[in-house]
Amino acid sequence: MERVRSVGEFCLLFILFSLLAACAHLREAPLDGDWMLVTLDGRRLPVDITSLDSHRYSLYHPDLILSGVYRLDGGALTLQEPNNPRAAGFVFSVLSADHLRVVEAPPVRLTGERYVGADLLRSE
């Protein structure tokens, strides 16, 4: 009985460490390239992401308030230097190497529309 418990514990630990390694890989995946912001009303807007260093990225679209310099930390991409001061507060969650989601945003009265829940998908 003790051996079965040990094998089961080993399997659970193996799965846990595998998941942690996969999450770490996602946080370190390069985000550079062409992306598409899919807004809550279905609009699709191109966004360019450029790496500035190992943890900072520039997100740019000429007409989007969320443009600026973001910091990648622990699976979250947080706006550090907004191009528009009313944009302070944007945070994306890194769901995969090809999928980010807005999880925090300034109030609608500052941005003009609701962004929480919008997806940023890597362009094909």
Q: Does the structure show a pLDDT above 70 at 124?
A: yes
Whole-angstrom Cα distance, residue 119 to residue 124? 15
pLDDT tens digits for range 5-58: 565 565 444 444 444 444 444 445 689 999 999 999 999 999 999 999 989 999
Q: What global pTM score does this model have?
A: 0.75
Sign of torsion, CA 52 100 88 78? negative
Q: What letter represents residue 105's amino acid?
A: A
Alpha helix positions (H), the chain: 2-28, 108-111
Which long-range contacts does 17-20 make (Cβ < 8 Å, 24+ apart)?
A: none
Q: 119 near 101, Cβ under 8 Å? A: yes
Whole-angstrom Cα distance, residue 29 to residue 43? 26
The per-residue pLDDT of the chain, averaged, comes to 84
With a pLDDT cut of 70, the percent of the chain lying above it is 77
